[in-house]
Homo-oligomer: A and B are copies of this chain.
Amino acid sequence: MTNQPGRSNFVHVRDVTLRDGFQDERFVATDEKIALFGALVAAGITDLELTSFVRPDRVPALADAEALVRATQSTEGVQRWGLVLNAKGAERALAVGLTNLQFVVSVSESHQRANAGGTVAQSLIQLREIVKIVRATPASVAVEVTLATAFGCPFSGPVPESDVLKVLEKVLEEGIDAVSLADTIGVAVPTEVTSLVSHVRQVTDLTPVGVHLHDTRGLGIANALAALDAGASRIDGTVGGLGGCPFAPGASGNLPLEDLIHALHAMGMNTGVKLEQLLEAAKLACQLVGQPVSSHVGVAGPRFARRPN
C-alpha cells in the first residue's frame, strides 16, 4: 500500500474548501475567504479550488468570484482553480486572468439533470464551447473535467465503470488537460477505486487523473490510498471536515486534508504541507462558517503530538 518501490514519494493534494467546502454553509465575506486562502497557502497548499463562475443572482455566495481571483493573483507557485459550467463562465474566468478551469459533468444522467438541468450530451456541447474559448486565448490555460457520480448516484444507485469510460472517452475527445473522478456522494470502496482509477489511467495515457473523495462512510483515507496506489496524481479535500452531502444530513463531508496528510506523513510520504499550519487553517475555515472542526486529526490532534503528563 503506497510507498512502493519506483513510486514517487510525493503526494499532490488540492484544497477545495473555498468552493466545495463553503457552498452549502453560511455566507463568508470575500476578506474572510482571502484570509483562509492565505492560511492554506502558508501551510504549503499549492492547488486551491477558489470559486465557481455561476450567475451571481442564482448563487449570491459566489458573487465575489472575480474579486477573489483578483485578490489572490500575486501568489507565485500556486494553482488557483475556478469552476466554469458554460461559455459565459469561461469568459468571466479568463477575463480575470484565471488559468486553471474546472468543468463538471455527471456520469449519471439523473444526477446531471438534477444538478445542472440538462443531459450529459448537452453538457458536453458546453465543454466543447469552453475548450474553444480557452484555446483561442493567448494564455496557457488548463481545463480539467470532473466526472461526478463516478462511483455512484444518489438517484440511480451504482454507476457501472463502462458508463464512466463512455463519458470519459467523449470528454477526452475535446482535448482537455486533466481528469478528476468524483465520489460525489461518498459511496466508493477501495476495490472500486483501484479498479476505476486503473482503467481510467489506461485510457487517459498522459492526462493526469485526480480523485475527489468524501468520507461519508468512513472510507475517505482508505479510498485515497487505493487511488494513489492505482496511479492517481492528485487528491482533493477540504479542511476541518467541511463540505457535506446534502442527501445525508449530519454525515461527514469531503475527505479532510489534515487526516490524509497526517496519515501520508506517518507513512513516510511527502506532501509539502505543514500539518500544524494546516490544522490552524482548518480552525479558521470552521470559524468562518460557524461549524465545529470535525476532521479526525482536527479533533484528536496529530499522533504523538500531545502526551498526557
Contact = CB atoms under 8 A, between A and B. Distances in A.
Interface in A177-193: 185-187, 189-192
B263 A222 contact: yes
A250 interface: yes
Contacts of A225: 190, 222
B267 A191 contact: yes
Contacts of A306: 247
Interface stretch (A84-92, A139-147, A202-210, A295-303): A295-303
Contacts of A192: 266-267
Interface in A203-224: 215-222
Contacts of A3: 191
A95 interface: no
A97 to B, nearest CB: 37
Chain A, interface residues (CB within 8 Å), range: 35 or more
Interface string A1-45: 111000000000000000000000000000000000000000000
How many protomers of this protein does the assembly include? 2
A118 interface: no
Given A152-B304, A219-B221, A247-B306, 4 more contacts: A186-B300, A190-B225, A217-B296, A251-B300
28 contacts: A3-B191, A152-B303, A152-B304, A154-B307, A155-B309, A157-B307, A187-B303, A187-B304, A190-B267, A215-B218, A215-B296, A216-B300, A217-B259, A217-B263, A217-B296, A217-B302, A218-B263, A218-B295, A218-B296, A221-B222, A222-B222, A222-B263, A245-B300, A247-B306, A247-B307, A251-B296, A251-B300, A252-B300
- The 10 A-B residue pairs whose C-beta atoms are closest, nearest first, are A251-B300, A218-B296, A187-B303, A218-B259, A222-B222, A248-B300, A189-B266, A191-B267, A157-B304, A216-B300
